[in-house]
Structure 1
């Protein structure tokens, strides 16, 4: 299951969120051709990705920042950008454009640092925006815990869209990161779980002053943990696809027909 949209409209155009999405896509496309050449791709990541072992040896610090704009594949990119698109606009609305950009980058740095602490000898390149986006998700949890988020549930051939409160989705996601992080070493299996945990916790910590300035629990009481403006509503309607059947074709026999 994964989120496809929220019901929490933004009060202003999220220019920074859109800019971050465009930057991630553009950077990914700039080295897309290297995926056909593993040696060239490894050389590229060796220069720009985060290597905990390099940090432990006293170099490669730039990877803490640059790694959050790299992705290991198309699905990795699309998944991260979907989460950023869903949750980013509301945190940008709450913080303002400049503070939100600084918040995003700081969450990404915090995520990279916790990944380093979790496995400082790892020579596996760490890439992805998910640590920074986890910070956005942590902030969303504190600010709008009861905002409705639509999740798509796929069970083999069954597809179901189900609205759930944000706190449920985000709490389950965070719990899965901790559980998976404990059960794996560093970025084993291709996922840097502790980077997700670090970004999420950093996001909560950094948004907390804003939440407190708005009244803390009193802010939740005023808004009921939902957006401070009318929520967006989506209506699932049936498609108007003509139905095909059989009718009498005038010759005493029934034949096929269709209506366009």
Structure 2
């Protein structure tokens, strides 16, 4: 099931949404280049969210008198931002960007450009923090825009609960067009993540353990609903708040 468009008219061009899509594509191409050079594993370990690394530097900073320890916290914490623009497979980035393209423009329309930029980054950062708190000793990195996009979907459904989504069902060489309620894709968003291992890049260490991201993305969904309601600039007549 591939979403391709919605039936919500946009009042403004979603330039921030296009900006996020462009960054994700550019960095994924960089990852592919690093994979060819055999340097991708180190890159992901450094720029992905590794809960054990974050927990260790935070513990050192809180237990010691060394101001430099807080600088280390700042450096390592930058992974909370960078990780949301990295992906581990072709299927993960394709799925994420399709949902971002379809649902993000409506949310940007409601929030406005600046607030949408802040909304997306805050949701991604908070979801990353939840992943660290859920398993602080885990040495496996988390990467992907999944948490931020779950928030975008939550904000979209809050404002456009009756929207219809144009989608296609791929059947080998035949593509069947259909129109489905937006709420269906809340369910489909979680189902499709089972297939995110398809087309994986060659990363020596494991990434994105399945048992943790699923429920943290649920928290991302809730964050999107809460923040969208607080930050809304233009409330559509279809909104359920």
Query: Contact 1:27–1:70 at 8 Å: present in 2 too?
Result: yes
* Equivalent position SS for 2:178: strand
The structural deviation recorded for 1:79 is 1.7
Label 1:48 to 1:113 Cα distance change in 2 as closer, same or farther (>3 A).
same
Residues 205 and 173 of structure 1: is their aligned pair in 2 closer, same or farther, counting only changes over 3 Å? farther
Verify the 8 A CA contact 2:150 2:220 in the aligned structure 1.
Answer: yes
Q: What is residue 42 of structure 1 aligned with on the other side?
A: 41
Rate the CA distance shift 1:84–1:191 in 2: closer, same or farther, 3 A: farther
Instruction: Choose the corresponding residue for 1:122, options 117, 138, 151.
Output: 138
Query: Structure 1 residue 10: deviation in Å?
Result: 1.2
What TM-score do you get using the length of structure 1 for normalisation?
0.71
Q: Identify the range of structure 1 (139-148 vs 159-168) with the bigger mean alpha-carbon deviation.
A: 159-168
User: Partner residue of 2:224?
Assistant: 203
User: Quick one: distance in 2 between partners of 1:212 and 1:28?
Assistant: 32
Structure 1 residue 85 displacement after superposition: 0.7
Q: 2:156 aligns with which of 140, 156, 159?
A: 140
Residue 93 of structure 1: which of 90, 95, 109 is its match?
109
- Distance of aligned partners of 1:13 and 1:161 in 2 relative to their CA distance in 1, 3 Å threshold: same
CA drift of 1:139 comes to 0.1
Match of 1:55, SS state, is: helix
Structure 1 CA distance for aligned equivalents of residues 211 and 171 of structure 2: 24
Q: Which has the higher helix share?
A: 2
Question: TM-score, with normalisation over the residues of structure 2?
Answer: 0.76
Larger Rg: 1
Q: CA RMSD in A?
A: 2.9
- Of 149, 163, 166, 2:165 maps to 149
Distance 1:104 1:34 in 2: 27
Q: Which has the higher contact order (CA 8 A, sep 6+)?
A: 2
Matched, 1:52 2:51: yes
1:122-149 Cα distance to aligned partner (Å, 9 max, x none): 2111111121111111100100011001
After TM superposition, the structure 1 = structure 2 runs for residues 167-206 of structure 1, keeping only pairs within 5 Å, are: 167-170=183-186, 172-173=187-188, 187-189=208-210, 192-206=213-227
By how many angstroms is 1:96 displaced? 0.7
Do residues 65 (structure 1) and 86 (structure 2) align?
no
Aligned length: 211
Q: Is the partner of 1:146 in helix, strand or coil? A: coil
2:127 is matched with which residue? 111
